[in-house]
Amino acid sequence: MGKVAVTLQVMPDSPETDMEKIKNEIQEKINPQEMKDEPIAFGLKALIILIIKEDSEGGTEQLEEEIRQINGVREARVKDVTLI
């Protein structure tokens, strides 16, 4: 089995949501390889997260659910999954 790169898009509840707090909690929970802000519209920014994981660990549902549980997160969805 190999490794996969999973790219997730995390949407906050509102433009006023403290993105640094969300980033810190994500860093503690899943330790992503990369995180960056992506402007959406009207001051709203999404957080794009890159995670490298073993292909044998299964799907991304657990990752998405862990992120959705963070206070201030409205949505977490997979943008891309690629074998490395």
pLDDT tens profile 31-81: 899 999 999 988 899 999 999 998 877 788 998 999 999 999 999 999 999
In angstroms, how far is CA 75 from the centroid of its own chain? Answer: 9
CA dist 12 → 5, 26, 60, 70 (Å): 23, 13, 19, 10
pLDDT for the residue 57: 78
**Domains along the chain?**
3-83 (3.30.70.60)
> pLDDT digits over 36-46, tens only?
999 998 889 99
Phi, then psi, of 3 in degrees rounded to 5: -110, 155
CB neighbours (10 Å) of residue 8? Answer: 24
pLDDT for the residue 42: 86
For the whole model, what pTM was predicted? 0.88
| C-beta of residue 44 within 8 angstroms of C-beta of residue 13 | no
Residue in 63, 32, 62 with CA at minimum distance from that of residue 48: 32
